[in-house]
């Protein structure tokens, strides 16, 4: 294992993922830019490197077994892995409200936002187990909070009606809890993050937070001290109810 911390950020070519990579890079970490499109990935790596970040290419499509296996091999050769940020995500497409949704939309959201995270996490766990201070951050969303989605949330009810994106993030939260239980007797801390409503491609830049602001909670969870929390769901303001 290398002495410098090494992180992999999935979906790091733009938006919140790019800013997570920039933030971890600013701490002096080596950062693998996980992205599926070669040109977009190369452009992000070049921009990060121009800003002084020790960024490197990690070709990665989270929906593709061979791609994820190759990424794990690449990281092993690069010196290992200390932090995995499962940031890549999609809405799955529109419309997606009950009564007006194509099941393919649901499938796409789950394929990337849930199964993609499980696939990448399983592939990277052997590397993370060798790290002195391994961390996993799953980029969830406040709309994945069943508490905030339910009618009883009243004025705190959040997000548009959705049977694809929001439930996929609820399942990601459930998956995070399962990994936290399984890894409870290890030094791996795993948490879910909510970046807040952030202006990116995902919402046609309607978000009210900057990508840097959206990245902050993931950076905080990626850099937790050894006695930090695990199996939690956090936003900048603190704990998000499941
Ligand atoms: P974004 O700008 O659309 O970025 C999404 C990233 O995921 C892109 O880099 C995209 O790559 C990548 N991606 C999608 N499918 C992939 C796949 N199969 N394999 C690898 N990478 C893939 O959106 P964002 O807002 O930064 O979203 C980042 C995360 O934050 C997502 O998980 C999202 O659900 C979550 N989030 C966002 C908000 C918000 O308000 N923006 C709120 C809550 C949670 P391409 O360029 O190749 O498409």
Query: What pLDDT was estimated at residue 156?
Result: 65
- Those residues of the chain that have pLDDT short of 50 are 1-2
pLDDT tens digits for range 56-103: 999 999 999 999 999 999 999 999 999 999 999 999 999 999 999 999
Query: Ligand 1, closest atom to CA 203?
Result: 41
Q: In what order do the strands lie in the sheet with 238-239?
A: 54-59, 30-35, 6-10, 83-86, 135-139, 189-193, 233-235, 238-239
The response to whether residue 199 sits with its C-beta less than 6 Å from ligand 1 reads no
Most ligand 1 atoms within 8 A of CB, residue of 15, 173, 194 to mutate: 15
Q: Is residue 32 within 8 Å of residue 58, measured between CB atoms?
A: yes
In a domain, 1, yes or no: no
In a domain, 53, yes or no: yes
> 165 an active-site residue?
yes
Q: How many domains does the chain have?
A: 1
* Residue 213 CA from chain centroid, whole number: 15
Taking the complete model, does pTM exceed 0.85, yes or no? yes
Query: What pLDDT was estimated at residue 179?
Result: 98
In a domain, 205, yes or no: yes
Q: Which two tokens stand for residue 13?
A: 């070519």
CA angle 177, 175, 97 (to 5 degrees): 120
CATH of the domain at 45: 3.40.50.720
In a domain, 41, yes or no: yes
Query: What pLDDT was estimated at residue 110?
Result: 98
Question: What's the Cα-to-Cα distance from 177 to each of 156, 158, 192, 202, rounded to whole Å?
Answer: 23, 22, 9, 25
Q: Is residue 89 within 8 Å of residue 36, measured between CB atoms?
A: no
Query: What pLDDT was estimated at residue 1?
Result: 43
Q: Which domain holds residue 28?
A: 6-239
């Amino acid at each position: 294992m290398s002495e410098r911390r090494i992180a992999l950020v999935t979906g790091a070519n733009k938006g919140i993922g790019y800013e997570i990579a920039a933030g971890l890079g600013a701490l002096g970490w080596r950062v693998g830019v996980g992205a599926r499109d070669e040109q977009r990935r190369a452009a992000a790596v070049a921009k990060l490197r121009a800003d002084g970040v020790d960024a490197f290419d990690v070709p990665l499509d989270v929906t593709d077994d061979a791609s994820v296996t190759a990424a794990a091999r690449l990281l092993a050769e690069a010196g290992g892995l200390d932090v995995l940020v499962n940031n890549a995500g999609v809405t799955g497409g529109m419309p997606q409200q009950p009564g007006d949704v194509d099941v393919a939309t649901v499938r796409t959201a789950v394929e990337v936002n849930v199964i993609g995270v499980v696939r990448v996490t399983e592939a990277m766990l052997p590397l993370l187990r060798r790290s002195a201070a391994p961390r996993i951050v799953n980029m969830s969303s406040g709309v994945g909070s069943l508490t905030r989605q339910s009618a009883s949330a009243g004025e705190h009810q959040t997000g548009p009606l959705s049977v694809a994106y929001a439930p996929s993030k609820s399942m990601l939260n459930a998956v995070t809890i399962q990994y936290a239980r399984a890894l409870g007797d290890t030094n791996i801390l795993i948490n879910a993050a909510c970046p807040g409503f952030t202006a990116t491609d995902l919402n046609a830049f309607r978000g009210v937070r900057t990508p840097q602001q959206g990245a902050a909670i993931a950076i905080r969870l990626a850099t937790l001290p050894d006695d930090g929390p695990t199996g939690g769901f956090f936003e900048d303001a603190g704990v998000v109810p499941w």
